[in-house]
Amino acid sequence: MKLTNRSRKTDKSPMTIAERLYLPAIASGLGTTIKHFFQKKPTIQYPEQKREFSPVFRGLHVLKRDEQGRERCTACGLCAVACPAEAITMIAGEREPGQEHLYREEKYAEVYEINMLRCIFCGLCEEACPKAAIFLQPDKIAPAFYERDEVIFGKDRLVEKMDDRASVGIEKYTGVKS
């Protein structure tokens, strides 16, 4: 009984003289390789030329600010709960009077750390976030690191800079910038 249609019957008949001469086979092999010689090369010259990212690519995390520059994160911890790799830790802090221009809500993350060796870039933190504060950027790759102490990314490297806004934000879900 045949299990698949892919099985082929092996030809075990003795080789013909033409096959045993090698030369016709060598000639056809040379033909195959020379065809590749003239083919277009699919190589992308990396540093000069970059491959386009997929629109759903999940790259380096960013902690968003709102349009007034206030951090959106309220340290609810839902991302840390959602994280299957347990890469996220945070310590919550209370906003003092006079810090309203820094933090959007009364509670904020004093410490927010992602262990990049643990992170699997699944994007569940982004899905869990009720404040649209954490996103995985579709155009930035997490950088390589050379030392162990570079592995844990703190707020200094995660919160977006006001003069260098991330390309992704709440408009990804609402369609409106706010």
The site for another protein (CB under 8 A) is made up of 9, 11, 13, 16-18, 21, 23, 26, 29-30, 32-34, 36-37, 39, 41-43, 45
Closer residue to another protein in complex, CB, 33/178? 33
Closer residue to another protein in complex, CB, 33/68? 33
3-class secondary structure for 52-84? CCCCCCCCCEEECECCCCCECCCCCCHHHHHCC
For the CB of residue 92, give the shortest distance to another protein in the complex, in Å: 50
Closer residue to another protein in complex, CB, 28/54? 28
Checking phi first, is residue 47 left (phi over 0); if not, alpha (psi -120 to 50) or beta? alpha
Q: Say how far apart CA 124 and CA 138 lie, in whole Å.
A: 15
Could you tell me which of 162, 163, 133 has the C-alpha nearest to residue 62? 133
For the CB of residue 5, give the shortest distance to another protein in the complex, in Å: 15
For the CB of residue 51, give the shortest distance to another protein in the complex, in Å: 16
